[in-house]
Amino acid sequence: MSTIDKGNRVLTLINVFTVEPEKQQALVALLIEATEQVMKHMPGFVSANIHRSLDGKKVVNYAQWENMAAFEAMRKNSKARPHMQAAAELAQFEPILCEVSDAISIG
């Protein structure tokens, strides 16, 4: 389980992948594998939350890192790069680096 909170001082990376529907499941599997095998063992990893769009055309990774330095170190890591290249071969992607302005929920 992951949490979103205004008080969380994490760096949030929302990565929106545009994919052909017949490749959506392969991209989901690749992102889960990359997270389990590599990302989650890196310093500063907090969470990765892989979403599939209902229309089949998008995959969204809502990821959290402790801070920008941890995120940058991951991007330069030689173990992470083959997974990122494999994702780039399956889909176009648009990473959005952001922070939480507000988290409003019931209860």
Q: What are the residues binding a second copy (CB under 8 A)? A: 1-5, 12, 14, 16, 28, 32, 35-36, 40, 45-55, 58, 60, 62, 64, 96-106
Say how many C-beta atoms besides its own lie within 10 A of residue 62's C-beta: 16
Biggest alpha carbon distance in the chain? 43
User: Which among 18, 28, 33 has a CA at the least distance from the CA of 50?
Assistant: 28
Which of 23/51 has CB closer to a second copy?
A: 51
Beta carbon of residue 53, minimum distance to a second copy (angstroms, whole number): 5
Beta carbon of residue 24, minimum distance to a second copy (angstroms, whole number): 10
Which of 22/54 has CB closer to a second copy?
A: 54
In the numeric block, the tokens 């648009």 are attached to 94
Distance, CA of 24 to CA of 66 (rounded, Å): 28
Which of 29/88 has CB closer to a second copy?
A: 29
In the numeric block, the tokens 């399956």 are attached to 90
Beta carbon of residue 30, minimum distance to a second copy (angstroms, whole number): 11
Distance, CA of 43 to CA of 65 (rounded, Å): 9
Which of 85/101 has CB closer to a second copy?
A: 101
